[in-house]
A = this chain, B = another copy of it.
Amino acid sequence: MNSYGKAFRITTFGESHGAGIGVIIDGCPAGLAIDTAFIQHELDRRKPGQSRITTQRREKDEFQLLSGVFEGVTQGTPIAMVIPNEDQRSHDYSHIAEQFRPSHADYTYQAKYGTRDYRGGGRSSARETAARVAAGAVAKLLLQQLGVSVQAYVSKVGTLALEKHYSEMDLAVAEENAVRCPDPATAQRMFDLIDQTRKHGDSIGGIVTCVVRGVPPGWGEPVFDKLHAELGKAMLGINAVKGFEYGSGFEGAAQYGSQHNDAFYTDEHGRVRTRTNYSGGVQGGISNGEDIYFNVAFKPVATIMQDQESVNRHGETVTVTGKGRHDPCVVPRAVPIVEAMAALVLADFYLRSKTARIES
């Protein structure tokens, strides 16, 4: 199904080359001021054509707000937003009507549904994520009121890793360069690597790191819907994601408990804190008040400007020829998408936390 969230719930729709894409947010509390410029700003961060290292598809990605907001304030009713498609160059894609592009969703959609909208990947296009970004912007507005911030950045491109810990950098710097890496020198090297990859008609993978600050203790559900489990699902639901880790992550699996345990202490404000944060801000599936941080691994995008072996709908061998526009590296544009999905998870858990106990 095409919905995410329980209390703060979104449902998205739309294909790459249909009339448009969009989203309904259901469950957003009444009384939230909606800053439409902020929503558009978030969409602009995701939109194509921002630099020469992103796809040159032309989309203004201007959203229309259809419902749920009256006099600038949410009404507790569903908030519908639509982003019309403009650059519907169907002829760019007609050659793939019969072919299955390697590592795309062409074959699996056909296998599952017996039909598919082959234009630009149809529903499997990353264009669908614009709807998530619009909804995530509303979630961010809700979280802002609670003092919660969500900031993501590119921490690796190919084998080129940013070596600094998030706490050593001003993450806002990430928005100042096309790669969205908060370390300018590394950003430049990443840019060059992506640009070189683009010139070869190839693509390259990368990692996005996300940091959430200000979540109070008590968000998250303890068993299946652990805070990090929902974050993981939300991230793995983004196109091209291959892995998720939070806190110490895969490295933590190589450690001893005596190293890895986070000692509690009481800080000068009387707040219970931990001296280290291998837990990544989540213990037993519930936030503990420390920073939540996690990594999201993106594969190289499947569209490349090279000839590839494949088959068509009849199982016959064909050569897929690279055409059209593509992102040589998805991670710069993935940054706002990661943030949006994280914000949606957190907004949902915030609302769910309100029924955890009897009011005293």
Contacts and interface: CB of A to CB of B under 8 A. Distances in A.
A226 B217 contact: no
Interface string A215-250: 001111111111011101111110100111111111
Nearest to A350: B355
A107 interface: yes
A214 interface: no
Contact of A245 (B20, B229, B297, B303): B297
Nearest to A314: B266
A123 B15 contact: no
B30 A115 contact: yes
A315 B266 contact: yes
A4 interface: yes
Interface stretch (A72-80, A164-172, A181-189): A72-80
B66 A19 contact: yes
Nearest to A282: B108
Contacts of A270: 315
A88 interface: no
Chain B CB count within 10 A is highest, among A235, A246, A259, A284, for A284
A94 interface: no
A178 interface: no
A51 interface: no
Contacts of A242: 245-250, 252-253, 280
A175 interface: no
Interface string A125-158: 0001000000000000010010000000000101
